[in-house]
Chains A and B, each alone.
Chain A
Amino acid sequence: GQQVMQIPQYQHVQEGEDFTTYCNSSTTLSNIQWYKQRPGGHPVFLIQLVKSGEVKKQKRLTFQFGEAKKNSSLHITATQTTDVGTYFCAVNSRLTFGEGTQLTVNP
């Protein structure tokens, strides 16, 4: 089935620093979704990208979908301790998830 590679696996930042996680696919995606899972919690939907080159923003979060629709990124500006958690991308009708990027923020 369609799979996505997500990097990095872990990211530790100082509060106020930026953070970026990437998802890459070997095949063209119809769309991509991003989820956040807080420690001990369940994944919560953040956003869906559908169009080639699409960019969406949610406050300090910026989501991008590549022109070829094979990659996507999530960028957080000026991280806060509330951003701690694991960020996943997910693709296709089977809702296949990437391995996630675990973000820790040092206050």
Chain B
Amino acid sequence: SQTIHQWPATLVQPVGSPLSLECTVEGTSNPNLYWYRQAAGRGLQLLFYSVGIGQISSEVPQNLSASRPQDRQFILSSKKLLLSDSGFYLCAWRPGRGNTEAFFGQGTRLTVV
């Protein structure tokens, strides 16, 4: 069966520090991968999505970047965090073909202080 792993669950980082959040999927190949950010009590803002290795689409220009070094690995990064980067970050995957259901990781709650 397919599983998605996202870590860490919580993270407190100082302003100006770098960030690396990792998401991996098991039990499937060539998934579509997504990174979202959710502010408290708000909706899911799509940050990046990827349909294949090295293929990243950015939805919102900002302080973050994403990479997909392997088929089932999706990394969200920042060189210098801002206070406004705080939020709940969610990784999701779904099969590469067709608009089927998406499966989400447990999320990372990031607080920038």
Which of B11-19, B69-77, B79-87, B100-108 is the interface stretch?
A: B100-108
Q: A43-B90, A95-B49, A100-B43 are in contact. Are A48 and B99 (CB under 8 A)?
A: yes
Do the beta carbons of A94 and B59 come within 8 Å of each other? yes
Given the complex of chains A and B, what is the CA–CA distance between A35 and B102 in angstroms? Answer: 9
Q: How many residues of chain B are within 8 Å of chain A by beta carbon?
A: 23
Do the beta carbons of A102 and B104 come within 8 Å of each other? no
Whole-angstrom distance between the Cβ of A60 and the nearest chain B Cβ: 20
Residues from chain A with Cβ under 8 Å of B92 in the complex: 43, 95
Residues from chain A with Cβ under 8 Å of B43 in the complex: 6, 88, 97-100
Number of interchain pairs (Cβ within 8 Å): 55
Residues from chain A with Cβ under 8 Å of B41 in the complex: 102
Answer whether residue A14 sits at the interface, using C-beta atoms and an 8 A cutoff.
Answer: no
Residues from chain B with Cβ under 8 Å of A35 in the complex: 102
Do the beta carbons of B101 and A42 come within 8 Å of each other? no
Residues from chain A with Cβ under 8 Å of B57 in the complex: 94
Contact of A44 among B34, B59, B104 (CB under 8 A): B104
Residues from chain B with Cβ under 8 Å of A77 in the complex: none
Given the complex of chains A and B, what is the CA–CA distance between A9 and B94 in angstroms? Answer: 27
Given the complex of chains A and B, what is the CA–CA distance between A48 and B95 in angstroms? Answer: 15
Taking A33-B101, A42-B105, A97-B46 as given, write out 13 further A-B residue pairs in contact, using a Cβ cutoff of 8 Å, ordered by the A residue number. Answer: A6-B43, A31-B99, A35-B102, A42-B90, A42-B107, A43-B104, A48-B101, A88-B44, A90-B102, A93-B32, A94-B59, A95-B46, A97-B44
